[in-house]
């Protein structure tokens, strides 16, 4: 399946192919053509682990699980990969997916993660997804801000994580905005 790259003002979210994910898992920047597009620090341990999970899911499914897999986040100005964002599989029976994302340290603090997450949320909604959830460690204030700025709402807090969600049930796909769920105390 050929998938389109999701474009934002400053980023291109490229859906990884199985061969590209294998290169990310190997993590060798000298591996052309993939490594030639990697900014210093990419891929990190999280990117490699995500590629490994994607490859295992593809093996179980007998082919690519895209569009609900990983996307390489690339700057449009130079085409360099600066991180990744991913769906952790397709929608469950309730129409919900889980997302995750990460950037190399030199790309943080510029709004790239929020921009990438907004693009993934819009794409999920266009695919009929009803709800998207994500979480971040309690101390990861930057990630809390990313999810909130992308329209996700804090729905629960436990001893390790803050849990966020956006829910489109009961709203029109072309408007109406997400419903928020009250934050847990």
The DSSP code sequence of 108-137 is TTSSHHHHHHHHHHHHHHHTT--EEEEEEE
- Tell me if 168 is assigned to some domain: no
Residue 185 pLDDT more than 60? no
- Tell me if 84 is assigned to some domain: yes
Residue 171's pLDDT is what? 77
Q: In percent, how much of the chain has pLDDT > 70?
A: 88
Regarding pTM above 0.75, the answer is: yes
Total domain count, the chain: 1
- Tell me if 149 is assigned to some domain: no
- Tell me if 33 is assigned to some domain: yes
pLDDT tens digits for 52-85? 999 999 999 998 899 999 999 999 999 999 999 9
Residue 41 pLDDT more than 50? yes
- Tell me if 142 is assigned to some domain: no
pLDDT tens digits for 128-143? 999 999 999 999 999 9
CATH number where 36 lies: 3.40.630.30
Range of the domain at 24: 6-128
- Tell me if 102 is assigned to some domain: yes
Give the full edge-to-edge strand order of the sheet including 131-137: 6-7, 11-15, 70-75, 81-87, 96-103, 131-137, 161-167, 153-157
- Tell me if 154 is assigned to some domain: no
């Amino acid at each position: 399946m050929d998938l389109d790259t999701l474009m934002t003002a400053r980023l291109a979210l490229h859906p990884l192919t199985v061969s590209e994910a294998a290169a990310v898992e190997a993590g060798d920047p000298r591996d052309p053509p993939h490594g030639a597009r990697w900014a210093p620090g990419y891929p990190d341990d999280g990117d490699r682990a995500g590629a490994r999970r994607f490859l295992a899911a593809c093996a179980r499914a007998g082919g690519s699980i895209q569009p609900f897999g990983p996307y390489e986040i690339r700057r449009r100005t130079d085409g360099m990969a600066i991180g990744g964002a991913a769906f952790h599989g397709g929608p469950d029976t309730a129409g919900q997916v889980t997302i995750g994302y990460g950037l190399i340290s030199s790309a943080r603090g510029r709004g790239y993660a929020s921009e990438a997450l907004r693009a993934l949320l819009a794409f999920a909604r266009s695919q009929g997804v009803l709800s998207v959830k994500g979480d971040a460690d309690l101390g990861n204030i930057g990630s809390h801000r990313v999810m909130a700025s992308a329209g996700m709402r804090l729905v629960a807090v436990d001893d390790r994580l803050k849990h966020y969600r956006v829910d489109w049930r009961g709203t029109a796909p072309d408007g109406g905005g997400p419903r928020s769920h009250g934050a847990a105390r």
